[in-house]
Amino acid sequence: MEEKLNFSLPEKKQKTSLTTKISVLLLFVLVVLMLINLFRPFHQGSRPENSNSPLAINKIKELAVKLSDRNLSARAARVWQEYLSAADNISDVERAKVLYQIGVLLEKTGSYEDAIEYFYRSEMTAGLSELESQINTHVKECFEKLGQFSALRYELMDRTSMDKSRQAGDKIVAEIGPEKFTEADLDSVIEKAIDNQLSGMAAFMTTEQLHEQKKKILDQYKDPSARLDFLRSWLAEEVLYRQALADKLSEQPDVKSVIDDVVRSVLSRRFMDNELADKINITETDLQTYYQAHKDEYMESAKASISHILVESKQQANDLKDRLKNGDDFNELAKEFSTDSATKDKGGEIKAEVAEGTYVSGIGEFEELNRRIFAANAGDILAEPFKTDKGWEIIKVREKTAKRQKKFDEVRQQVITELLSQKRRDVQAGLIQQMMDRYNVIVHTSAFKGAEQNNAELPDNTSAGK
């Protein structure tokens, strides 16, 4: 067999040398560096200037002013804060002015606590007389909008006091061991108690209505005796609470059960209030309409101020009556002969007024005596002594006030409460029914045969709404 000759060259294996790899890598790095150099001018042109440079600081200030002019208060406040951080070399006067401006902006956003802080910062940085009255006004308004009226009172006292060495409200009123409680602490506790008292109505009242009602309740605690009574009651509760914690009563199963019930009750009521608040809207017109429709319910009874002489026998009472007819002074006779030690030194004057149709203050529950008092005229002495279980009474009617219609402003809170109660009854039944449906509640009324049926009862063996 003839052998064929192969004239093709043998295939050569390709190998990549180390030198080639290094060359390729260097080439790649060179291209990258060229690209970086090519785009560097554009990159540098878009880079923000150093934030500490005068130009950058001026631009921040310009931005803050512009945002403020556009009523973008929250943004403006933030940029002014940025300005203060960047501007290291501004004077205390300018810094104080900027801090004041931030306070004003925060007040506009409703951040009243933060606003007060910045007003204080402004004053502490440089007490500028040109800003003094403005800061006073803004701080007052912020405390009012927060509803912190006790804090406002002490703030105003501090600002008007000539003695700057002490703060208003720092007088100590009580101590528990090493702890000292000041007037300001007491007012804070009182205010918290009032807030809790009003919390059930807060969802249905405007902020202005809520604050107005709070002020009225706070007025009751201007009386030193009322403040002292509250303090004693609070201290008693506080020491009992502390001892209960020390005894770990909260860890006892029966106490935990009670606490759970309280939490359950509070949360259910708060949920109900929040839900109803979305469905109940009481306007000023609603209040006026309700008041006009129920004016007869807002009447103030006729009242009388009286004095009395209490003696042991009818004969003595008649003798004194004769002396009064002959011109003897009622007050002097009361001081000499009355057996009522509480009133005799005051000429028999009973401080509390008597309301028509109710008990007689200082004497007792006597309908006939009440009727006689209001049948007499001011200045009259009742014709006949009146017998009580204490003795015989000689009564003088000092003053009388006729029955009158109470003005709307006097009973406004009462109207709110009663109208709210009416609307709640109308709405909450539907809400409860809705919740019953959601949780598929079934009441087996057949298990309660003989029990009174009411409109809220669900059909027997059916789920709510079915």
Backbone angles phi, psi at 202, to 5 degrees: -60, -35
Per the listing, tokens 């529950």 go with: 365
- Provide long-range contacts, Cβ within 8 A and 24+ apart, for 159-168: none
Q: Check residue 339 and give its pLDDT.
A: 95
Q: In the chain, how many domains are there?
A: 4
Does 47 reside within a domain? no
Does 346 reside within a domain? yes
Same domain flag for 195 and 280: yes
- For the domain that residue 87 is a member of, what is the CATH number? 1.25.40.10
Nearest to 97 by CA among 142, 50, 64: 64
Distance CA 426, CA 418 (A): 13
Give the other-Cβ count within 10 Å of 181's Cβ.
Answer: 18
Same domain flag for 121 and 205: no
Does 272 reside within a domain? yes
Same domain flag for 281 and 307: no
For residues 112 and 142, the answer to whether their CB atoms sit within 8 Å is: yes
Distance CA 165, CA 71 (A): 40
Per-residue pLDDT of the chain (466 residues; tens, 9 = 90+): 444 444 444 444 444 455 666 665 666 656 556 666 555 544 444 344 444 444 588 899 899 999 988 889 999 999 999 999 988 889 999 999 999 999 999 999 999 999 999 999 999 999 898 998 899 889 988 988 888 887 887 787 778 776 666 677 788 999 998 888 898 889 889 988 988 888 777 766 777 778 888 888 888 888 899 999 999 999 999 999 999 989 999 899 999 999 999 999 989 988 888 888 778 878 889 999 999 999 999 999 999 999 999 999 999 999 999 999 999 999 999 999 999 999 999 999 999 999 998 889 889 889 999 999 999 999 999 999 999 999 999 999 999 999 999 999 999 888 988 998 888 888 888 889 899 999 999 988 888 877 655 544 444 444 444 4
Same domain flag for 396 and 425: no
Nearest to 393 by CA among 366, 375, 374: 366
What are the start-end ranges of the E strands in 247-314? 299-300, 303-311
Does 30 reside within a domain? no
Same domain flag for 285 and 307: no
Same domain flag for 398 and 420: no
Domain boundary among 289, 316, 332: 289
Q: Check residue 165 and give its pLDDT.
A: 66
User: How many Å separate Cα 55 from the centre of its chain?
Assistant: 47
Same domain flag for 314 and 336: yes
Domain boundary among 289, 309, 324: 289
Same domain flag for 318 and 376: yes
- Domain of 418 in residue numbering reads as 408-463
Per the listing, tokens 């007003």 go with: 119
Same domain flag for 267 and 229: yes
Does 169 reside within a domain? no
Does 24 reside within a domain? no
Same domain flag for 224 and 212: yes
Does 126 reside within a domain? yes
Same domain flag for 75 and 125: yes
Domain boundary among 126, 146, 166: 146
Does 262 reside within a domain? yes
User: How buried is 71 (Cβ within 10 angstroms: 0-12 exposed, 13-18 middle, 19+ buried)?
Assistant: exposed
Distance CA 200, CA 363 (A): 39
Beta bridge partners of 304: 354, 400
Same domain flag for 356 and 419: no
- For the domain that residue 370 is a member of, what is the CATH number? 3.10.50.40
